[in-house]
Amino acid sequence: MTLSKVVYVLDLESGNLRSLYNALTKLGYSVKWIKTPSDGLDDAEILLFPGVGNFGHVLSALQNRGFVEPLKAYIASGRRIMGICVGMQALFRGSTESPGVEGLGIIPADLKKFDDTAKSVPHIGWNSAKVNGLENKGIYGLRPESKYYYVHSYCAPVEAPIEQGWTVAIGDYNGEAFAGAVCKGNVFATQFHPEKSGVAGLRVLKAFLEGEQLTELSNEAAKGTPGLTKRIIACLDVRTNDDGDLVVTKGDQYDVREKGATANAGGKVRNLGKPVEMAERYYLEGADEVTFLNITSFRNCPLADTPMLEILRKTSETVFVPLTIGGGIRDMVDPDGSKISALDVASTYFRSGADKVSIGSDAVIAAEEYYSRNGKLSGETAMETISKAYGAQAVVISVDPKRVYVDSPRDTKHSTVKTSYKGPNGEEYAWYQCTIKGGRETRDLDVIQLVTAVEKMGAGEILLNCIDKDGTNSGFDLELIQSVKDAIRIPVIASSGAGNPEHFYQVFKKTTTDAALGAGMFHRAEYKVSDVKNYLKEKGLLVRSESELIL
Ligand code: 1PR
């Protein structure tokens, strides 16, 4: 069968399709987008069905565009189809995420939510997809030792598809087995995102597109430790410098200017390099995710020419791991006076290649208003509207707290920690005060109030910075991190203070954080991302190996 180099892709206008386009382009395929069946579904030899966000949303999008029957007919015709993420879930009968909504029913079984009593949900990060029962064989390039990027709260069962003759690649999330991929005849589908799973994911896409269903595995490749890895994230604070160039900078407790000749003569904005080049360097070093933060976002500028959009477009062409963009995600008024909702701002970033958006200041304001309404949701906050449209996993909350020392918990209404690092006057307790505008304004809200509120608003993850630790190379604030982890069920990214690989080991050993982020130590080339990952591997922690960089 001569394979056309054209891949047909269902475009339900949800989530980040640009990265899938970039992955297919890198593999030498051109893309034909299909928004309705009449866009050429009958001509398709190979069809990709990417789906992001809510099960019910994706199924209604299929229904509204008249895809349900044509898609079932396409599958019955024996032509090949690959579902991705909710595109795999849609093949099932239904999901507890959207009671009463019918899936395509190709696999008569139902999805359910992960058990979150002892682990974070959504399941975000790099996990296995180990094919059952096929010794030393992989389905479509899947390898037991490889890790793939998952981001979902609902999971497909393993037993039911196997009983119905499907080959299932199994993932293990803290002891809870789930279907990482399913395959039977002309149908293949992955819960993980192959376009965001580095070279391991590209290998799976390539094998499917080339029709290599069964792949022999070397003894080495047939090994592999199941389970979710510790995520290492590289973070780039971006702003224009005094010459107007967009540069990667780094704060020292959020002060990004070189120390000036005199105490108050602030020097130039630190220029640590170009955003796209540095992101690509970190990807090649094995970063599991890359985060861009536009740190002068509080200055309004026309969304259309937000320089961050071009950075995302360029970066997503060569960096095949999840990209998060933060800074300025809020309802805004363009300088020409037009109102743009936070959802529109986020959608623009998703269309430009972002997988997640990070909300800072706006989340603090929304939390204050949430408490002023005695814990009643408005349904209109950026968190609620973006997670409703794109799924909780697409919404990260960036927290910029400052330590406030008190002698006793009785001295404040806020949640305190008993600290091992006494205050300037010997205080033994501290609480963490929220700030907005990059630490320029403090608010009468503590970190636990903030993260509790935004979790209720549908946020999927917390990026937990710490102004006191930022840029100090003194290690993470372990007390802050564990106090937040104890308060919520969604994943937490520890941030601020990393100065060497041991700091990453300490935060994973002494707290239950799900991920850890570094910035300055990477930008100043004191360490590579791979130095951190190799160190953690030697210490016995499960990390994604960067040997996955060779297709
Ligand atoms: O408030 O929604 O517009 O978002 C603004 C975003 O920009 C927030 O995510 C906020 O954290 C960030 N931000 C604003 N000002 C600064 C600054 O530095 N002047 N960056 C800033 C905060 C946090 C991380 C940092 C880690 C690790 N930086 O990006 O890199 O703390 O640093 P380290 O490993 O070098 O210690 P909005």
Q: Is residue 415 part of a domain?
A: no
Atom 14, ligand 1: which residue's CA is nearest? 438
Task: Find the 251 Cα to ligand 1 centroid distance in Å.
Answer: 8
Q: Are 141 and 198 in contact (CB under 8 A)?
A: no
Q: Strand, helix or coil at 53?
A: coil
- For the whole model, what pTM was predicted? 0.93
Residue 244 sits in the same domain as residue 154: no
pLDDT at residue 476 is higher than 90: yes
Task: Find the 266 Cα to ligand 1 centroid distance in Å.
Answer: 19
- Residue whose CB lies within 8 A of the most ligand 1 atoms, among 233, 236, 237, for a mutation test: 237
Mean pLDDT of 75-90: 97
Domain end: 216, 242, 263, which one?
A: 216
Q: Is residue 92 part of a domain?
A: yes
The residue among 67 and 389 whose pLDDT is bigger is: 67
- Residue whose CB lies within 8 A of the most ligand 1 atoms, among 239, 282, 293, 441, for a mutation test: 293
- Residue whose CB lies within 8 A of the most ligand 1 atoms, among 466, 470, 474, for a mutation test: 470
Task: Find the 402 Cα to ligand 1 centroid distance in Å.
Answer: 13
Residue 373 sits in the same domain as residue 341: yes
Q: Are 291 and 235 in contact (CB under 8 A)?
A: yes
Q: Is residue 192 part of a domain?
A: yes
Which residue ranges have their beta carbon within 6 Å of ligand 1? 235, 237, 250-251, 254, 256, 293, 295, 297-298, 326-329, 358-362, 398, 400, 438, 465, 470-471, 495-498, 517-520
What CATH number should be reported for the domain holding residue 162? 3.40.50.880
Residue 185 sits in the same domain as residue 251: no
pLDDT at residue 3 is higher than 80: no
Task: Find the 293 Cα to ligand 1 centroid distance in Å.
Answer: 6
What CATH number should be reported for the domain holding residue 356? 3.20.20.70
Q: Write the DSSP assignment of 264-324 as a string of letters.
A: TS--PBP----HHHHHHHHHHHT-SEEEEEETTTTS---GGG-HHHHHHHHHTTT--S-EE
> Which residues are part of the catalytic machinery?
85, 193, 195, 237, 400
Q: Atom of ligand 1 at shortest distance to CA of 498?
A: 34
> Whole-number mean pLDDT of the chain?
92
Q: Is residue 161 part of a domain?
A: yes
Domain end: 216, 247, 262, which one?
A: 216
For 452, the domain range is: 232-400+434-546
Domain end: 192, 216, 240, which one?
A: 216
Task: Find the 284 Cα to ligand 1 centroid distance in Å.
Answer: 23
Q: What is the pLDDT of residues 176-215, one digit of tens each?
A: 999 999 999 999 999 999 999 999 999 999 999 999 888 7
Q: Are 393 and 321 in contact (CB under 8 A)?
A: no
pLDDT, residue 1, reads 46
Q: Atom of ligand 1 at shortest distance to CA of 520?
A: 35
pLDDT, residue 390, reads 87
Task: Specify which of 220-234, 327-341, 373-387 reaches the highest per-range mean pLDDT.
Answer: 373-387
Atom 4, ligand 1: which residue's CA is nearest? 327
Residue 385 sits in the same domain as residue 492: yes
- Residue 383 CA to residue 388 CA, distance in Å, equals 8
pLDDT at residue 394 is higher than 70: yes
Q: Atom of ligand 1 at shortest distance to CA of 497?
A: 36
In this prediction, residue 397 has a pLDDT band, given cuts at 50, 70 and 90, of very high
Residue 324 β-bridge partners: 291, 356
Q: Are 500 and 253 in contact (CB under 8 A)?
A: no
Tell me phi and psi for residue 513, to 5 degrees: -60, 150
Mean pLDDT of 490-511: 98
Residue 168 sits in the same domain as residue 42: yes
Residue 185 sits in the same domain as residue 293: no
pLDDT, residue 240, reads 80
Q: Is residue 392 part of a domain?
A: yes
pLDDT at residue 2 is higher than 60: no
Residue 106 sits in the same domain as residue 77: yes
pLDDT at residue 255 is higher than 90: no
Q: What is the pLDDT of residues 288-306, one digit of tens each?
A: 999 999 887 655 566 666 7
pLDDT, residue 547, reads 58
Residue 69 sits in the same domain as residue 152: yes
- How many angstroms separate the most distant Cα atoms in the chain? 78
Atom 9, ligand 1: which residue's CA is nearest? 398
Task: Find the 491 Cα to ligand 1 centroid distance in Å.
Answer: 19
Q: Write the DSSP assignment of 139-167 as a string of letters.
A: ETT--TT--EEEEESEE--SHHHHHTT-E
Atom 17, ligand 1: which residue's CA is nearest? 254
Q: Atom of ligand 1 at shortest distance to CA of 439?
A: 15
Mean pLDDT of 122-135: 88
The residue among 44 and 300 whose pLDDT is bigger is: 44
CA 212 to each of CA 28, 52, 141, 185, 296: distance values in angstroms, whole numbers, following the listed order: 16, 26, 8, 12, 48
User: Quick one: tokens of 348?
Assistant: 């623009």
Task: Find the 161 Cα to ligand 1 centroid distance in Å.
Answer: 45
Residue 186 sits in the same domain as residue 243: no
pLDDT, residue 87, reads 96
The residues, ordered by sequence, that sit 6+ positions from 30 with a Cβ below 8 Å of its Cβ are 5, 6, 7, 24
In this prediction, residue 244 has a pLDDT band, given cuts at 50, 70 and 90, of confident
Residue 22 sits in the same domain as residue 153: yes
User: Backbone dihedral region of 26: left (phi > 0), alpha (psi from -120 to 50 degrees) or beta?
Assistant: alpha
Task: Find the 113 Cα to ligand 1 centroid distance in Å.
Answer: 32
User: Quick one: tokens of 5?
Assistant: 């180099």
- Residue whose CB lies within 8 A of the most ligand 1 atoms, among 253, 465, 474, for a mutation test: 465
Residue 441 β-bridge partners: 436
Atom 12, ligand 1: which residue's CA is nearest? 295
* Total domains present in the chain: 2
Q: Are 29 and 23 in contact (CB under 8 A)?
A: no
Residue 255 sits in the same domain as residue 345: yes
The residue among 301 and 380 whose pLDDT is bigger is: 380
Q: Is residue 447 part of a domain?
A: yes
Q: Is residue 290 part of a domain?
A: yes
Residue 371 sits in the same domain as residue 518: yes
Q: Strand, helix or coil at 106?
A: coil
Task: Find the 470 Cα to ligand 1 centroid distance in Å.
Answer: 8
pLDDT, residue 271, reads 77
Q: Is residue 551 part of a domain?
A: no
pLDDT, residue 245, reads 79
pLDDT, residue 248, reads 86
pLDDT at residue 448 is higher than 90: yes
Q: What share of the chain is helix, strand, coil (3-state, %, to 5)?
A: 30, 25, 45
Q: Atom of ligand 1 at shortest distance to CA of 251?
A: 18
